[in-house]
Structure formats: structure tokens, C-alpha cells
Amino acid sequence: MRTDPVILSVAFGYLALLFVVAAWGDRRAEQGRSLIGSPTVYALSIAVYCTAWTFYGSVGRAAEHGPSFLLIYLGPTLAMLMAPLLIRKMVRIAARQRITSIADFISARYGKSSSLGALVALFALVTITPYIALQLKAITVSHAVLVNYPVSADTSLIDEAFWMDKSFWVALVLAVFIILFGTRHLDASERHEGMVAAIALESLVKLIAFLAVGIFVVFVMFEGPGELFGQVAATPELAQAMSLESVPGGATGWVGMLLLAFLAFFTLPRQFQVLVVENVDEQHLKRASWLFPLYLLAINLFVIPIAMAGLLLGGLSGDPDSFVLTLPLSTGSEGLPLLVFIGGLSAATGMVIVETIALSTMVSNQLIMPLLLRSKRLHLGTKGELAGWLLGIRRVAIVLILLLGYLYHALIGDAYSLVTIGLVSFAGVAQFAPALLIGLYWRGATHQGATLGLIAGFMVWAYTLLIPGFVQSGWLDAGLINQGPWGIGWLRPYALFGLEGWDIYTHSLLWSLLANVGLLAGVSLFTRQTPLEQTQAALFTEAMNPNLQATSLWHGKTTQGELRELLSRYLGIPATRRVFAVSTHQATTSLSPTLDDNEQPASTELITRAEQALAGSLGSASARVLINSVVRGEALDLESILSILDTTSQTLEYNRRLEQKSQELARIGEELRGANERLRELDRLKDEFVAMVSHELRTPLTSIRAFAEILRDGENLPDEKRRHFLGVIVHESQRLSRLIEEILDLARLESGRLTLNPQPLDLAHLARHSVDAIARLQENRGVRLRMQLEAEPAPIIGDPDRLEQVIINLLDNAGKFADDTAPEVLLRVYRHKKHYRLSVEDNGPGISEDERERVFEKFHQIQQHEEEKTRGRPKGSGLGLPISRGIVAQLGGRLWVEDGASLGGASLIMELPEAPPKEPASSEKPTVT
């Protein structure tokens, strides 16, 4: 069974199966029934992480260094657990910007920079070629072991012609295979659904094969884990090898290895391809974030048992990297080794396929296309169909990459174990991590910073890992490693700046990342971003901002015809039609049918979609150049982007402030309305007041003028009449003066400018005084005025003149409103709690309940035209009571109306607070204004 024809036909059969699956996946994708629309398929495709290095090398490393190989899988586990945070953001950006590779991603982040993209592509090529070589080596070695066992296979190829070398043919076959299902479509961002399906299948095959070996070794060869571990425990040097102490570099080695694997997990071009570019649904990350770690656990479950078994059996099993194959072979099994070989083939081809597709995309989009666009712009511009060109470039790139891999394998591959080559590559791609990760979160990271950081990181990596590798291959003098270049000790590649005792990978990672991150951060701080770079930086760092979803990024103008021509030249007619189909479908309603479509201005959505479509084929940098060639105008500037980004928070803040403002406005409006009401009322009152004042003033004036004219015109007026009329004039003039005085008092009271002169005084004494002043007048009117001083003295603080004015006014009013036939007025002064009260009561009709406050309104009597006037008594101005109340209030007292208790008429009561007890008779008079 282990003859070449059998093995070859099984291997080709397997590849053919893969191709069928891939073709099927592609067809399903075209029909819109995607085969890979499942998170499980996505998780399995990520398992392309497990290459031949895992399949064969893990056992090798376990045999040499114990469980340290696990770190290579703990890193990705960590990364996947962080997927919702980290990878999801990349996935979203890649989908939005139609990113085709990690080089494209980094280029796009730093302003769609062609140079940075080219740099990443170039470095990726340098870093990954050995890794591809490793897979070729694994296939060749495993094939040789399978065929030659138990004879130890000599895989040295130096003396053979390359056409005799199987790995050369393996590389060619793989190239053809990859061209067949990797470049069927031009648009890389349209995703290789068939390839992903095939890769997922391969992941299953290698897992099954590895588990089969594991189960076979543990349960068939050793009758269970108990026996196996028992035998290991009985062999002290073996038990020692399997302990944790055997990790190279100790604790720092652990950390270094973990970090290395973590970073490589998404910076490896193939990992970026399956994780980010080929992701069809962000939601798939959820299941993948636990399913993939589970896969890693499963495929590593038997690594240590197999390694221990291999070591126990000693010489029988040969090289530890081949234990997986040699152990089943040693038992004479025929079928299982073949399955293992297929599993290894799966692991190797899976890696080579994805890695080559990713690299060829980078090479064509980041290296060749920008060069072609730049140097032969005119030539390209006149070319009709360029879509074919692109495919051609990519196919040539695939062949070249595989040939490079073969060359590396043929020339230096032998010097390294599988694991070593893998780790060197890991450390190389880890240099992409600073530009990628920092660019994802720090908007200030600039193109110059990223470029210099990347270059520095790579140089350090090359010096500390790649070049020493050449030394170990015998290409360079070993003195470089041992003494340093020109004998400079601190420049020794494995002990840079005297850092010794670390494992070489951690050592290299530390110095390279230090240089990389240091330059990226440092240079970024001192360099400026171009407008496009600012825009892209904002779009990347703010990718999770929900406002970015529906944003058009072009302001510029072009016609649909120009865009159509551009797209069809680079993408071909069908793809162009697809781009336009989506847009016209949306826009037909607004398009006027009479106009030729080609003359129609292209909408910003259409321009954006066209750029995305071009980016999907050519990479973002080239797409930008091409779109710029037909679109006049600017891409959205940073301010616009930022304003879009800030929309949510701004809107929220704005809404909150708006709400606050509107509440405030409503409140102010309410206040204003109230104030307006009051003003209107005041205005009305003022008008009324003015009208009343004028009326009141005109009345005495009328008499004065009339009699003055009568006196003037009547020369022979009898003396008696003359005197009478003069008396009227004098009386009315006095009335006028009094009125004016009252109006002024009122005005002063209302504006708070009435100056009072408060001093301690006796209210009873004041009452007596007032009664004396008015007694004669009341007598004339026939009013019986009585006084009842129940508290004497009644010490209060007051302005004697003003209070007398108030009391006289009250007495005067009472006299007017007392009973017609036998008018009576009673004045009382008495104590009530801590106040003194003065009440003036009459025996008139009293004042009804609802009138009691209105009597204190200005000109009240005029407003109501009351019946009292009919009695022909002299009228007051209607200002007496309002003025009295104002004065009393200003002295801290009250004035109100009650029913008279003794006489049954109205009773006006004035209340003033009692003066503080031992108020010394002081010359100092407190002044209240």
C-alpha cells in the first residue's frame, strides 16, 4: 500500500475532492445559497492556523521542550476570546472598505498609502516564504517517511536536480490548484467562498487524522493513558522533559511565546484572510470565539501522549517531527499512516492555498498594480479590458510565490526544524501588529510613524532571527552569532545589548517590537497626517460608531458614463453592471427617463460603491487613484467625518440641551405671559388711574374756571355773590391742592419712595390729637364722635404726622358713611396681643363682605357710583384709604374693615406692633424709607 502510485493517487484524489468542494461552494455562492454562511464553517476555516507545523511539529516540539508548544495555541485562544473587541472591529472595517488583505488594511488605515501597502506586502512575502517552504518540506518529508519506513529517509536534496525533487512538483501542482480555485473571480473582496469551504473540510480531515493517531497510540499501542503515563513516570529523564521547567527562556519565554502567537494569529496573511477578509457575517465571530479554541484543544489533546510514546519507543520512531507517522508505521499498520499522511497534506495544503492567495492578492494589489498605474498610466488608460490583466498578474504571482517557497526549501530549509521556521515567521508578521492595532485605536498614528516603525521592526527581526538562520544554514560565519559583527559583543544577534538568557524568539520580539512601537508612537507625535489619512484614521478608530453605517464619503462630481467606463475597464462588464444595478435600482424613481443615463451625475453613493468595488479588486490605494482620475471634487474631509461620528453624542447632547431649553422657554414663556398679563393689567390700571386723576382734577378746576370767568365777565355782580363765588374758588383750589398732594403720596407709596419718620409715640395720645383736629368739622356735620381709650399709653413706633393723617381720614370717612339722621362715630384704642389697635366705627349701613377689600382700591368710590353720594356730602378723592393702608403697611401694621361691634356699621381697624419695652427716649431717630 505504501507505494508511490497508491500514495500519489490518494493524494491527487484528495486534492480533486477539495477542488470539487471548492467548485461546489463557488457555485452555491453564485446562486446566492452560500455554503459558508455558518459560524461553524467560519470557525473551521480559522483552523487553517493549524498547519503541517501543528500536525507534525507540535509533537516534535513537545518531545524537545515539553508542554511549551501549547503556548502557540493559547495565544490564538486569547485572541479569539477577545474577538468581540478586536477582530470584530477589523471585520467591520474590512467589510465597509472592501479590504483585500492585511497590507491593504494597513495601507487603507494610513491614508490609502501605496508605499506602506507595498512595504507590508514585501515584508509579508519575505516572512511567509520560509513558512510556505516549511509546508512543502512537511509534505515531502512525510511522503518520504511513508514510502521508506523503516529506513530513515534522507531528505537532503542538494545533489539532485530540481526536477527530481518531489517538493518542486508538489509546489507546481499546488500552484495550478490554487490558480484554479483562487483566481476564478477577480474581485478578491468578493471572497473565495469555495476556498473557504475546502479549507473548512481540510480542517476537519486533519483533526480526524490527528485524533485517530492519538487514539491509536494511547489505546491500541499502550492500552490506555494510564499505562502510557505509568511508563513515562518510570523513566525519570522523560518525566523531566514533560515538565513545565523545560520551556526555553523560562517565564519570559512563556510570556514571549504567548504574545508571539497572539499577535501572529491575526497578522499572518492567511489568518487575516480567513478571519477578516473571508468573514461573511460579523455574528459568526460569536460562535467561533469558543468553537475555535475548542478545536485547538482537541487537536492538541494527544500531542504529549504521542510525543511520550515516541520517546519511549526510541529508535523505532526516528525524528520527533515524524512521530505521528512513524508510530502507526511501527506497528505495521497500513491504512492509518495513509490517513495521517492525508491529514498532514490537509494541514500543509490548507496553509499554502490560503497563504498564497493572500500573498498573491497583496503582490498584485500592493506591489504590481500601483507600479503599473503610476508608470504606465497612459498606456493603461488606453487599454480596453484590464480585468484580464489583473487576473494574469495574480496567477503569475501565485506561481512565483510557490517557486520562491520551493527555492527557500531547497536552499536553506533543511537547517531548521519545522517549529523553528514557523516561529521565525511568527516574529516577522508580528511586526505588522503595532501599525494594525495601534492604528485601530489611536487616531493620531501617522503614515510616517507606521512606515518607520515597520521598517525598524523588520530590520531588528531580520538581524536577530533571519540572519542567524542563514548562519545556522552555514551561509555565514558562525562568528557573527558568537562574537558579534566585527567582534562587537553587544551586537550579537541573539544577545542584543547584552540581553542574554532569553530564548531567541522572545529576545527578538522584545527588541523588534520595542523599535517598532517606539518609532510608530514617537514619529506619529511629530508628524502630520494628510487630509485623507485623517479621514481614514477616523473611519478606522471609530468603526464601531453606528453613525458610520450609511455615510457617503464623496463630495465630488462625475457622470455615470465616466464611472461606468472606468469600472468596466478594470472589473469587466458583468461586475460593473452589478455595481450599477444596485444603484439604479435605488435611484430609478428619482431619475428622469428622458435623460441619457450616461450624462446623469453619479450619486455619492454610486461613487462610494464604485470605489469599494475597485478597492475589492485593486486594493484601496489604487482604487483611490483611479476614482480620483474621474471624480472632480474632494473626498469627505476630516471635519465632516468627525461631525458624522459625533452625531450621536452631539445629537443626544443637543436633544438634552434642546429639551432643557424648551422647558426653560416654556417656563420663561409662562413667566412672560404672566408678566405680560400683569403689565397689561398695570397698563389698564395706569390708564384708568390717569383717567381718574384727570377726572378728579378737572372737577374742581371746572368750578374754579367757571366762577373765575363769571367774576371776570360780570362787572356789576352784587358783592355778596362775588364773595360767595370767590369762596368757592378758594375752596375748590384747596381741594385741588389736597388732591394733588394725595396723588403724589400715592405715587410715592407705590414706588416705595414715601419717606416716613418713625419714632416712639403713644397711639392714644395721637388719637386724642386727631379727634381734636376733626371735632369741629364733625360737629358741623352733626356727627356724634366718641372716643374710648382702653390702653393708655399705647406705645408704638410711627410717623406722627402720617398716622394723624390716617386717623383723620378714617374719622372723616366714618362721618360720611354714618347713619343719615343720627350719625355716630366711635374711636377705640386697645391692646391686642403684642399690638395696639385703633378702630373707627360708624352706625351706617356697613360694608358688604365683597366690598371690604375694594374700598382700599384707588378711586374706588368713583368706580362704583355708590348711593352714598346722593346725600350731597363733600366727596373724598377715593384715595384716602389706599394711602392710609400704604402708610400703615410701611410702618409694619395692617388696616382692614370689619363689622362694627358696638354701632353696627363698618369698623375700620388699624393695628400697629407694640414698641419694644424700654425704648430709651433717644434723640437718634431711626429712619425708615
Partner 1 sequence: MARVLVVDDEPNIVLSLEFLMEQAGFDVVTAEDGESALACVKDTVPDLILLDISLPGISGFDVLEQLRADSDKAHLPIIMLTAHGREVEREKGMALGADDYITKPFSTQALVSKVKALLAETDK
Residues that bind partner 1 (CB under 8 A): 691, 694-696, 698-699, 701-707, 709-710, 713-714, 721, 728, 731-732, 862, 865-870, 872
Least Å from the CB of residue 916 to partner 1: 48
Distance (Å, whole) CA 399 – CA 408:
14
Q: How far is the CB of 855 from partner 1 (least distance, A)?
A: 16
Q: Which is nearer to partner 1, 656 or 695 (CB)?
A: 695
Q: How far is the CB of 858 from partner 1 (least distance, A)?
A: 16
Closest distance of CB 695 from partner 1, Å: 4
Min CB(683)–partner 1 separation in Å: 15
- Quick one: cell of 7? 500514495
Q: Which is nearer to partner 1, 386 or 862 (CB)?
A: 862
Helices then strands (H, E): number in the chain? 40, 7
Helix or strand holding residue 842 (H, E): strand 835-842
At residue 716, the 3 state secondary structure works out as coil
Distance, in Å, from the CA atom of 350 to the CA atom of 568, rounded to the nearest integer, reads: 33
Closest CA to 476 of 412, 428, 429: 412
Closer residue to partner 1 (CB): 732 or 762: 732
Nearest-angstrom CA–CA distance, 284 and 271:
15
User: Under a CB-based contact definition with an 8 Å cutoff, are residues 188 and 102 in contact?
Assistant: no
Cβ 757 to partner 1 shortest distance, Å: 36
Distance CA 640, CA 374 (A): 30
Distance of alpha carbon 715 from alpha carbon 52, whole angstroms: 144
| CA proximity to 558, closest of 518, 510, 517, 598 | 598
Amino acid occupying residue 27? R
Burial class (CB in 10 A: 0-12, 13-18, 19+), 456: buried
Distance CA 573, CA 642 (A): 36
Give Cα separations from 132 to 170, 402, 413, 634, 752 (angstroms).
Answer: 12, 7, 10, 43, 99
Answer for the pair 446, 529: CB distance below 8 angstroms, yes or no.
Answer: yes
Which of 645, 540, 560 lies closest to 607, judged by CA?
560
- Concatenate the DSSP letters of all residues of 204-219 into one string: HHHHHHHHHHHHIIII
Using the minimum distance from each CB to partner 1, give the nearer residue, 181 or 817.
817
Report the alpha-carbon distance of residue 132 to residue 352 in Å, rounded.
6
The least distance separating partner 1 from the CB of residue 706, rounded to whole angstroms, comes to 4
Dihedral angle computed from the Cα positions of residues 20, 25, 31 and 32, in that order, rounded to the nearest 10 degrees? 170
C-beta of residue 908 within 8 angstroms of C-beta of residue 840: yes
Looking at the Cβ atoms of 542 and 732, the one nearer to partner 1 is: 732
Instruction: Return the number of the residue (501 or 727) whose C-beta is nearest partner 1.
Output: 727
Helix or strand (DSSP H, E) at 831: strand 824-832
For 917, phi then psi, to 5°, come to -50, -75
Shortest Cβ distance from residue 739 to partner 1 (Å)? 13
Nearer to partner 1, 27 or 869 (CB): 869
Instruction: Quote the least distance from Cβ 819 to partner 1, whole Å.
Output: 19
Smaller CB separation from partner 1, 489 or 874: 874
557 vs 695, beta carbon nearer partner 1: 695
Taking alpha carbons only, the member of 555, 430, 546, 341 closest to residue 123 is 430
**CB of 729 or CB of 909, closer to partner 1:** 729
CB closer to partner 1, 374 vs 721:
721
Distance of alpha carbon 616 from alpha carbon 188, whole angstroms: 6
Q: Smallest gap, in angstroms, from Cβ of residue 871 to partner 1?
A: 10
- Helix (H), strand (E) at residue 415: none
Please report which helix (H) or strand (E) contains residue 688, including its range: helix 647-713
Q: For residue 846, give the 3-state DSSP assignment.
A: coil
In the complex, the smallest distance separating the C-beta of residue 740 from partner 1, rounded to whole angstroms, is 16
Smallest gap from residue 749 Cβ to partner 1 (A): 25
Cα distance between residue 923 and residue 296, in whole Å? 105
Give the residue with the Cβ less far from partner 1, 694 or 927. Answer: 694
Cell readout for 90 is 477589523
Shortest separation between residue 677's beta carbon and partner 1, angstroms: 23
Nearer to partner 1, 657 or 873 (CB): 873
Is the Cβ of residue 381 or residue 727 nearer to partner 1 in the bound state? 727
**β 824-832/784-789 pair status:** parallel
β-partners of residue 828 are: 788, 839
For the CB of residue 744, give the shortest distance to partner 1 in the complex, in Å: 20
C-beta closer to partner 1: residue 377 or 698: 698
**Complete DSSP assignment for 316-327:** GG-SGGGHHHHH
Least distance (Å) from partner 1 to the CB of residue 764? 37
CB nearer partner 1, residue 670 or residue 866: 866
- Between CA 295 and CA 49 the distance in angstroms is 11
Closer CB to partner 1, 252 or 733, in the complex: 733
Q: Report in angstroms how near the CB of residue 712 gets to partner 1 at its nearest.
A: 9
Residue that has been written with the C-alpha cell 388732591 in this structure? 739
CA distance 841 to 818: 9
Of 379, 387, 399, give the one whose Cα is nearest residue 618.
387
Closer CB to partner 1, residue 286 or residue 722?
722
Instruction: Tell me the chain's radius of gyration from C-alpha atoms.
Output: 53
How crowded is residue 490: how many other Cβ atoms within 10 Å of its Cβ? 10
Where do the DSSP E strands lie in 570-651? none
- Find the shortest distance in angstroms from Cβ 877 to partner 1: 13
In angstroms, give the least distance from the CB of 885 to partner 1: 24
Q: Which amino acid is it at 408?
A: Y
